Amino acid sequence: MSVTVGIIGASGYTGAELLRLAAAHPQFDVRYVTAETQAGRSVGELYPSLLGAYPELRTQTFDVGAAAGLDVVFLGLPHEASLAVVPRLVGRVGCVVDLSGAFRLRDATNYPLWYGFDHDQPELLAEAVYGLPELHRQELPGARLIATPGCYVTAATLALAPLVRAGFVGADGVIVDAASGVTGAGRSATATTHFCTIDENLSAYGLDGHRHSCEMEQEIGTQVLFTPHLAPMNRGILATCYARPSGVATSTDVLLATLGEAYAGEPFVMVSERSPSTKATLASNAVHLTARFDTRTGHIVVISALDNLSKGASGGAVQAANVALGLEETAGLSTVGVMP
């Protein structure tokens, strides 16, 4: 079974990662690739690492007619651009997988505060399936529109949601302290992402409330104080999550067992006593988790690591698309990181 694929907005890092993953997918056949600012250039020219997989493929400008009839179309566009494009594609392609935040939040009234625009597609927002298979797998088969989670949100949600659902974590007091590689800021350089700024530097940002806070609260089910950090590495996320116990008796062994049971049979989530590291997940779709109960302070600590471009974005999008299209969920994706 061949699955025809389009990638809209392929010149950015998530687009390049989608192309890399699609090249390894046994059923994906990339037919249509757009890059508005780079239209006409070959994929191999934009990303020489992809030359062997796409020796002839060239980027185009976006045209709905050219995308019509494709089995799946991935969108690597800015949030408001996706909001405008999605209504033109849904119903004309088999499945739209949006990597922006345009359809992640269930409540449209949250968009002006967290994204700075009014959401004008309430019906599609209601239809969109949140693309985290570990929590929403049953909703994905046959989905016409998938909202791929934010990278930080994937790390924090997979770490905390099972413990919240099991009753170990209270409804407030959750802190997510997470660091991401610079690719999370996108391909276009800014004053804060130039080499001279990033190298040998670690900085916090989003101190007045990062937009992923709302998405985390939606998916985890608790109030969350979230502080992101920019780390001097290309890709990866390490999230250290702190929570007050709800009053239910717990221990490190109980927390690890709860996470292990929640993710038993999940192909991409590994629970271990070992402290996770970003390098262990590099270029894979894996999430590494551990947990501790700190008896001295009475706090729960959960740590997760993943690749922000793979499981945190493009890999998670492919995983969700596989489920939606009735394909093998692991197709085109690896649990094995690149080392060294």
Instruction: Give catalytic residue positions.
Output: 151
8 Å CB contact between 184 and 151: yes
Question: Given its phi and psi angles, is residue 283 left (phi above 0), alpha (psi -120 to 50 degrees) or beta?
Answer: left
Distance, in Å, from the CA atom of 279 to the CA atom of 68, rounded to the nearest integer, reads 39
* Residue 215 neighbours by CB under 8 Å, 6+ apart: 101, 104, 105, 149, 150, 153
**CA count, 13 A, side-chain hemisphere, 231:** 17
The one-character DSSP state at 53 is T
Distance, in Å, from the CA atom of 54 to the CA atom of 30, rounded to the nearest integer, reads 9
Distance, in Å, from the CA atom of 76 to the CA atom of 46, rounded to the nearest integer, reads 15
Distance, in Å, from the CA atom of 223 to the CA atom of 304, rounded to the nearest integer, reads 19
Nearest of 163, 160, 205, 161 to residue 184 by alpha carbon = 205
